[in-house]
Structure 1
Amino acid sequence: MTTVVHIDDTVRDYETWKPAFDGLVQYYTEAGARNCRVARFTHNPNRVLIELDFDTMAEAEAFRDGLHKLIDLPRTQMLLVSHEVSILELVDDRRLTARASS
């Protein structure tokens, strides 16, 4: 079972936030994250969705709990407008292929 930590952040400036986020890759991997996806809204490029995949619920919960400490740091708060974290259970994951043309 894959457990997903879903983070919905609105950042003050994406171009400033992204290098700070990239600097945390080792933190995420040491916490047990095995995959990470980052997306941003086309109509609001400062709103960022992050999904991190974990093998267990316990790893995801421990990561979420540790993330609170990171988010509370003044230097992190300077980058964020809002921050919300959810834990999801992945129930279906499909790779879709294009239909063959007739």
Structure 2
Amino acid sequence: MLDFPCQIQMPRANKTEVLVGILGDDHTLASELVSELWNVGIKAEFMVHKRPMKHRPCQRIYRIPWMALVGERELNKGVVNLKDVEANKEMEIPRDQIVEELRRRLNP
């Protein structure tokens, strides 16, 4: 058994492109963000956990190329912390622009 919340070790039927990580307990925010991404055809999943490091093992195991993290600081600033995992680069994207930014980056 793994020692982090991401317990599934089976290969997935489809490839997740974005892991939305909510740093806190706000399931509503998580479902809103993921629904917006699904509505434009982006394959996304979400995880809700207070500690940022709990999100990374799932991302690594499933080789998810993008992470979108939102915590209290990001909510207060009105941004999403977007991480390009392969390039190991992070950027703050305004919350109202995150869907278009990910569409642009996933479909250049």
Q: Do these two structures clear the TM 0.5 threshold for a shared fold by scoring above it?
A: no
Higher relative contact order, structure no. (Cα contacts within 8 Å, ≥ 6 residues apart): 1
Please tell me whether Structure 1 or Structure 2 has the larger radius of gyration of its CA atoms: 1
Structure having the higher strand fraction is 1
Structure with more helix by fraction? 2
